[in-house]
Homo-oligomer: A and B are copies of this chain.
Amino acid sequence: MSSYIQEKINLFQQQNKNRARLLINCPDQPGIVATVSKFLYEHNANIIESNQYSADPEGGEFFIRIEFEAPDLKTKAKQLEEDFQSIAQEFSMDWKFTYVDNIKKMAIFVSREPHCLLELLWEWQSGDLMADISLVISNHETSREMVENLGIPYYYIPANKDIRAEVEKKQLKLLEDYQIDVIVLARYMQILTPEFVEVHKHRIINIHHSFLPAFIGANPYERAYNRGVKLIGATSHYVTNDLDEGPIIDQDISRVDHRDNAADMKKIGQSVERSVLARAIKWHLEDRIIVHGNKTIVF
Protein backbone atom coordinates (compact mmCIF):
# COMPACT_ATOMS: atom_id res chain seq x y z
CA MET A 1 0.00 0.00 0.00
CA SER A 2 1.31 3.47 -0.81
CA SER A 3 2.59 5.43 2.16
CA TYR A 4 0.14 8.24 1.33
CA ILE A 5 -2.85 6.00 1.96
CA GLN A 6 -1.19 4.31 4.92
CA GLU A 7 -0.89 7.70 6.56
CA LYS A 8 -4.58 8.41 6.09
CA ILE A 9 -5.45 5.07 7.64
CA ASN A 10 -3.12 5.65 10.59
CA LEU A 11 -4.66 9.03 11.25
CA PHE A 12 -8.17 7.59 11.07
CA GLN A 13 -7.27 4.82 13.50
CA GLN A 14 -5.74 7.30 15.90
CA GLN A 15 -8.85 9.50 15.80
CA ASN A 16 -11.18 6.56 16.36
CA LYS A 17 -9.31 4.49 18.88
CA ASN A 18 -12.05 4.92 21.49
CA ARG A 19 -14.99 4.49 19.15
CA ALA A 20 -17.12 1.38 18.74
CA ARG A 21 -20.48 0.23 17.43
CA LEU A 22 -23.04 -2.07 18.98
CA LEU A 23 -25.47 -3.83 16.64
CA ILE A 24 -28.41 -5.73 18.02
CA ASN A 25 -31.47 -7.49 16.74
CA CYS A 26 -33.87 -9.35 18.95
CA PRO A 27 -37.60 -9.90 19.48
CA ASP A 28 -39.23 -6.56 20.24
CA GLN A 29 -40.24 -6.11 23.88
CA PRO A 30 -40.36 -3.29 26.40
CA GLY A 31 -37.18 -2.21 28.11
CA ILE A 32 -34.54 -2.92 25.49
CA VAL A 33 -33.46 0.67 24.94
CA ALA A 34 -33.64 1.45 28.63
CA THR A 35 -31.48 -1.52 29.51
CA VAL A 36 -28.88 -1.05 26.78
CA SER A 37 -28.52 2.68 27.30
CA LYS A 38 -28.18 2.19 31.05
CA PHE A 39 -25.49 -0.42 30.40
CA LEU A 40 -23.53 1.93 28.16
CA TYR A 41 -23.93 4.80 30.58
CA GLU A 42 -22.60 2.72 33.43
CA HIS A 43 -19.62 1.76 31.27
CA ASN A 44 -18.80 5.42 30.65
CA ALA A 45 -19.77 5.19 27.01
CA ASN A 46 -21.03 8.34 25.31
CA ILE A 47 -23.59 7.65 22.56
CA ILE A 48 -22.64 9.46 19.34
CA GLU A 49 -25.33 8.12 17.06
CA SER A 50 -28.21 5.75 17.62
CA ASN A 51 -30.70 4.29 15.16
CA GLN A 52 -33.45 1.82 15.84
CA TYR A 53 -36.25 0.16 13.98
CA SER A 54 -39.12 -2.15 14.89
CA ALA A 55 -40.28 -4.27 12.01
CA ASP A 56 -43.69 -4.39 13.59
CA PRO A 57 -44.39 -2.41 16.77
CA GLU A 58 -46.72 -5.14 18.00
CA GLY A 59 -44.40 -8.05 18.65
CA GLY A 60 -42.01 -8.10 15.72
CA GLU A 61 -38.24 -7.86 15.45
CA PHE A 62 -36.27 -5.01 16.95
CA PHE A 63 -33.03 -3.60 15.52
CA ILE A 64 -30.63 -1.04 16.91
CA ARG A 65 -27.24 0.34 15.98
CA ILE A 66 -25.41 2.49 18.50
CA GLU A 67 -22.12 4.22 17.83
CA PHE A 68 -20.36 5.30 21.00
CA GLU A 69 -17.09 6.47 22.49
CA ALA A 70 -15.56 5.33 25.74
CA PRO A 71 -12.22 6.36 27.23
CA ASP A 72 -9.53 3.66 27.13
CA LEU A 73 -11.81 1.53 25.01
CA LYS A 74 -9.03 -0.84 23.95
CA THR A 75 -8.27 -1.96 27.47
CA LYS A 76 -11.93 -2.26 28.41
CA ALA A 77 -13.37 -3.93 25.32
CA LYS A 78 -13.07 -7.47 26.55
CA GLN A 79 -14.74 -6.68 29.88
CA LEU A 80 -17.47 -4.71 28.11
CA GLU A 81 -18.38 -7.65 25.91
CA GLU A 82 -18.37 -10.03 28.83
CA ASP A 83 -20.58 -7.75 30.89
CA PHE A 84 -23.01 -7.50 28.02
CA GLN A 85 -23.59 -11.23 27.82
CA SER A 86 -26.26 -11.33 30.50
CA ILE A 87 -28.30 -8.59 28.82
CA ALA A 88 -27.94 -10.34 25.48
CA GLN A 89 -29.22 -13.52 27.03
CA GLU A 90 -32.12 -11.87 28.79
CA PHE A 91 -33.44 -10.35 25.55
CA SER A 92 -32.37 -13.21 23.22
CA MET A 93 -30.21 -10.84 21.21
CA ASP A 94 -28.13 -11.33 18.10
CA TRP A 95 -25.42 -8.79 18.79
CA LYS A 96 -21.90 -7.68 18.07
CA PHE A 97 -19.51 -4.97 19.05
CA THR A 98 -17.23 -3.67 16.31
CA TYR A 99 -14.29 -1.34 16.84
CA VAL A 100 -13.92 1.52 14.40
CA ASP A 101 -10.12 1.45 14.27
CA ASN A 102 -10.27 -2.20 13.28
CA ILE A 103 -10.06 -1.50 9.53
CA LYS A 104 -11.76 -4.20 7.47
CA LYS A 105 -9.69 -6.20 4.98
CA MET A 106 -11.23 -6.14 1.53
CA ALA A 107 -10.76 -8.23 -1.61
CA ILE A 108 -12.03 -6.90 -4.93
CA PHE A 109 -13.01 -9.28 -7.73
CA VAL A 110 -13.16 -7.82 -11.22
CA SER A 111 -13.45 -9.05 -14.80
CA ARG A 112 -12.65 -7.02 -17.88
CA GLU A 113 -14.50 -3.75 -17.25
CA PRO A 114 -12.64 -1.61 -14.73
CA HIS A 115 -15.11 1.23 -14.02
CA CYS A 116 -16.32 -0.04 -10.64
CA LEU A 117 -12.82 -1.02 -9.55
CA LEU A 118 -11.55 2.41 -10.56
CA GLU A 119 -14.26 4.14 -8.55
CA LEU A 120 -13.35 2.15 -5.45
CA LEU A 121 -9.64 2.85 -5.87
CA TRP A 122 -10.45 6.52 -6.34
CA GLU A 123 -12.57 6.71 -3.20
CA TRP A 124 -9.91 4.77 -1.36
CA GLN A 125 -7.12 7.11 -2.41
CA SER A 126 -9.11 10.13 -1.32
CA GLY A 127 -9.68 8.59 2.09
CA ASP A 128 -13.43 8.15 1.69
CA LEU A 129 -13.39 4.35 1.66
CA MET A 130 -11.80 3.34 4.91
CA ALA A 131 -10.72 -0.22 4.19
CA ASP A 132 -7.56 -2.19 3.72
CA ILE A 133 -7.80 -3.21 0.08
CA SER A 134 -5.62 -6.27 0.50
CA LEU A 135 -5.78 -7.75 -2.98
CA VAL A 136 -7.52 -7.71 -6.33
CA ILE A 137 -8.47 -10.97 -8.04
CA SER A 138 -9.33 -10.99 -11.71
CA ASN A 139 -9.90 -13.40 -14.57
CA HIS A 140 -8.29 -10.82 -16.86
CA GLU A 141 -5.01 -8.95 -16.89
CA THR A 142 -6.65 -5.65 -17.88
CA SER A 143 -6.43 -3.86 -14.57
CA ARG A 144 -3.08 -5.13 -13.30
CA GLU A 145 -1.13 -1.95 -13.91
CA MET A 146 -3.47 0.47 -12.17
CA VAL A 147 -3.80 -1.85 -9.18
CA GLU A 148 -0.11 -2.57 -8.74
CA ASN A 149 0.69 1.14 -9.16
CA LEU A 150 -1.14 1.63 -5.87
CA GLY A 151 0.87 -1.11 -4.17
CA ILE A 152 -1.99 -3.61 -4.12
CA PRO A 153 -1.28 -7.27 -5.06
CA TYR A 154 -3.06 -8.39 -8.23
CA TYR A 155 -3.89 -12.05 -8.77
CA TYR A 156 -4.75 -13.21 -12.25
CA ILE A 157 -6.85 -16.38 -12.05
CA PRO A 158 -8.42 -17.36 -15.37
CA ALA A 159 -12.00 -18.52 -14.79
CA ASN A 160 -14.90 -20.07 -16.60
CA LYS A 161 -17.70 -22.38 -15.64
CA ASP A 162 -15.79 -25.56 -16.52
CA ILE A 163 -13.01 -24.95 -14.02
CA ARG A 164 -15.11 -23.26 -11.34
CA ALA A 165 -14.18 -25.66 -8.54
CA GLU A 166 -10.43 -25.31 -8.83
CA VAL A 167 -10.68 -21.55 -9.45
CA GLU A 168 -12.69 -21.03 -6.29
CA LYS A 169 -10.27 -23.19 -4.36
CA LYS A 170 -7.45 -20.85 -5.30
CA GLN A 171 -9.58 -17.81 -4.52
CA LEU A 172 -10.68 -19.12 -1.14
CA LYS A 173 -7.08 -19.89 -0.27
CA LEU A 174 -6.12 -16.29 -1.03
CA LEU A 175 -9.04 -14.91 0.96
CA GLU A 176 -7.95 -17.02 3.89
CA ASP A 177 -4.29 -16.10 3.58
CA TYR A 178 -5.16 -12.42 3.57
CA GLN A 179 -7.80 -12.85 6.33
CA ILE A 180 -10.37 -11.06 4.22
CA ASP A 181 -13.46 -9.58 5.90
CA VAL A 182 -15.41 -8.38 2.89
CA ILE A 183 -15.46 -9.35 -0.78
CA VAL A 184 -16.60 -6.93 -3.46
CA LEU A 185 -17.67 -8.21 -6.84
CA ALA A 186 -16.91 -5.07 -8.83
CA ARG A 187 -18.44 -6.38 -12.04
CA TYR A 188 -16.96 -9.87 -11.71
CA MET A 189 -18.89 -11.72 -14.39
CA GLN A 190 -18.58 -15.22 -12.94
CA ILE A 191 -21.15 -17.05 -10.85
CA LEU A 192 -20.01 -18.21 -7.41
CA THR A 193 -20.91 -21.67 -6.11
CA PRO A 194 -23.07 -22.19 -3.02
CA GLU A 195 -19.97 -23.52 -1.24
CA PHE A 196 -18.10 -20.26 -1.84
CA VAL A 197 -21.06 -18.13 -0.80
CA GLU A 198 -21.60 -20.17 2.36
CA VAL A 199 -18.06 -19.52 3.58
CA HIS A 200 -18.51 -15.75 3.26
CA LYS A 201 -22.19 -15.33 4.03
CA HIS A 202 -23.34 -11.68 4.09
CA ARG A 203 -19.79 -10.63 3.33
CA ILE A 204 -19.95 -10.63 -0.47
CA ILE A 205 -21.31 -7.48 -2.09
CA ASN A 206 -22.23 -7.53 -5.76
CA ILE A 207 -23.27 -4.79 -8.18
CA HIS A 208 -25.91 -5.78 -10.69
CA HIS A 209 -26.40 -3.50 -13.68
CA SER A 210 -30.18 -3.17 -13.52
CA PHE A 211 -32.81 -2.03 -11.02
CA LEU A 212 -33.63 -5.46 -9.69
CA PRO A 213 -35.90 -7.37 -9.93
CA ALA A 214 -36.06 -6.12 -13.51
CA PHE A 215 -33.57 -7.75 -15.85
CA ILE A 216 -32.19 -10.47 -13.63
CA GLY A 217 -29.30 -12.30 -15.30
CA ALA A 218 -27.19 -11.50 -18.33
CA ASN A 219 -27.16 -8.49 -20.67
CA PRO A 220 -29.51 -6.20 -18.76
CA TYR A 221 -28.64 -3.10 -20.80
CA GLU A 222 -29.46 -4.82 -24.06
CA ARG A 223 -32.72 -6.09 -22.65
CA ALA A 224 -33.55 -2.68 -21.21
CA TYR A 225 -32.93 -1.16 -24.62
CA ASN A 226 -35.15 -3.75 -26.29
CA ARG A 227 -37.96 -3.12 -23.80
CA GLY A 228 -37.78 0.61 -24.42
CA VAL A 229 -37.43 1.65 -20.77
CA LYS A 230 -36.98 5.29 -19.85
CA LEU A 231 -34.88 4.59 -16.75
CA ILE A 232 -31.90 2.33 -16.29
CA GLY A 233 -30.60 1.35 -12.91
CA ALA A 234 -28.12 -0.49 -10.79
CA THR A 235 -28.49 -2.55 -7.62
CA SER A 236 -25.95 -3.44 -4.96
CA HIS A 237 -26.82 -6.52 -2.93
CA TYR A 238 -25.38 -9.27 -0.80
CA VAL A 239 -24.72 -12.42 -2.76
CA THR A 240 -26.81 -15.49 -2.01
CA ASN A 241 -27.21 -18.74 -3.85
CA ASP A 242 -30.07 -17.39 -5.94
CA LEU A 243 -28.72 -15.32 -8.82
CA ASP A 244 -29.44 -11.61 -8.31
CA GLU A 245 -31.91 -12.44 -5.55
CA GLY A 246 -29.88 -11.51 -2.46
CA PRO A 247 -30.77 -8.76 0.02
CA ILE A 248 -30.71 -5.39 -1.74
CA ILE A 249 -28.52 -2.74 -0.14
CA ASP A 250 -29.01 0.19 -2.48
CA GLN A 251 -30.41 1.05 -5.90
CA ASP A 252 -30.36 4.06 -8.11
CA ILE A 253 -31.36 4.96 -11.64
CA SER A 254 -30.57 7.34 -14.44
CA ARG A 255 -32.88 8.70 -17.10
CA VAL A 256 -32.47 7.57 -20.72
CA ASP A 257 -34.51 8.27 -23.83
CA HIS A 258 -35.13 7.01 -27.35
CA ARG A 259 -31.82 8.39 -28.61
CA ASP A 260 -29.84 6.10 -26.30
CA ASN A 261 -28.95 2.76 -27.81
CA ALA A 262 -27.75 -0.20 -25.77
CA ALA A 263 -24.16 1.07 -25.82
CA ASP A 264 -25.22 4.52 -24.58
CA MET A 265 -27.28 2.93 -21.84
CA LYS A 266 -24.27 0.94 -20.77
CA LYS A 267 -22.14 4.08 -20.49
CA ILE A 268 -24.82 5.96 -18.60
CA GLY A 269 -25.40 2.96 -16.40
CA GLN A 270 -21.76 2.55 -15.50
CA SER A 271 -21.87 5.85 -13.70
CA VAL A 272 -24.84 4.64 -11.66
CA GLU A 273 -23.15 1.32 -10.93
CA ARG A 274 -20.09 3.12 -9.60
CA SER A 275 -21.95 5.25 -7.10
CA VAL A 276 -24.40 2.56 -5.98
CA LEU A 277 -21.62 0.08 -5.32
CA ALA A 278 -19.41 2.59 -3.52
CA ARG A 279 -22.28 3.63 -1.28
CA ALA A 280 -23.14 0.06 -0.34
CA ILE A 281 -19.55 -0.72 0.52
CA LYS A 282 -19.20 2.34 2.72
CA TRP A 283 -22.35 1.41 4.64
CA HIS A 284 -21.02 -2.11 5.08
CA LEU A 285 -17.66 -0.82 6.29
CA GLU A 286 -19.40 1.42 8.80
CA ASP A 287 -21.49 -1.53 10.05
CA ARG A 288 -24.68 0.24 9.02
CA ILE A 289 -26.36 -2.77 7.44
CA ILE A 290 -28.27 -5.51 9.21
CA VAL A 291 -29.51 -8.36 7.03
CA HIS A 292 -32.94 -9.59 8.07
CA GLY A 293 -34.42 -12.40 6.01
CA ASN A 294 -33.94 -11.33 2.43
CA LYS A 295 -33.97 -7.60 3.23
CA THR A 296 -31.55 -5.09 4.64
CA ILE A 297 -32.00 -2.55 7.38
CA VAL A 298 -29.63 0.32 6.54
CA PHE A 299 -29.04 2.63 9.48
A residues in contact (CB < 8 Å) with B: 30-31, 33-34, 37-38, 40-41, 44, 46-54, 57, 69, 114-115, 118-119, 122, 125-126, 128, 149, 211-215, 227-231, 233, 247-253, 257-259, 267, 271, 275, 294-298
Contact of A53 among B54, B119, B259 (CB under 8 A): B259
Chain A facing B: main interface SS: mixed
Contact of A50 among B33, B126, B297 (CB under 8 A): B33
Q: Which 9 A-B pairs rank lowest in CB-CB distance, beginning with the nearest?
A: A228-B295, A214-B214, A34-B37, A34-B41, A33-B37, A258-B297, A230-B251, A34-B38, A231-B251
Query: Which B residues are CB-close (under 8 A) to A247?
Result: 228
How far, in angstroms, from A275 to B298 measured CA to CA in the complex?
26
In the bound complex, do residue B54 and residue A48 qualify as a contact, i.e. CB atoms below 8 Å apart?
A: yes
Q: With CB as the reference atom, state the residue of chain B lying closest to A274.
A: B122
Give the distance to chain B from A159, nearest Cβ to Cβ, in Å: 23
Interface centre among A37, A44, A296, A298 (most CB of B within 10 A): A37
Query: Which B residues are CB-close (under 8 A) to A257?
Result: 298
How far, in angstroms, from A16 to B294 measured CA to CA in the complex?
31
Give the distance to chain B from A293, nearest Cβ to Cβ, in Å: 8
Contact of A231 among B53, B118, B211, B297 (CB under 8 A): B211
Query: Which B residues are CB-close (under 8 A) to A34?
Result: 34, 37-38, 40-41
26 residue pairs from A and B, CB less than 8 Å apart: A33-B41, A34-B34, A34-B37, A34-B40, A34-B41, A49-B52, A50-B52, A53-B258, A57-B69, A118-B125, A118-B126, A119-B122, A122-B122, A128-B267, A212-B227, A213-B229, A214-B214, A227-B248, A228-B248, A228-B294, A228-B295, A228-B296, A231-B233, A231-B253, A253-B253, A257-B298
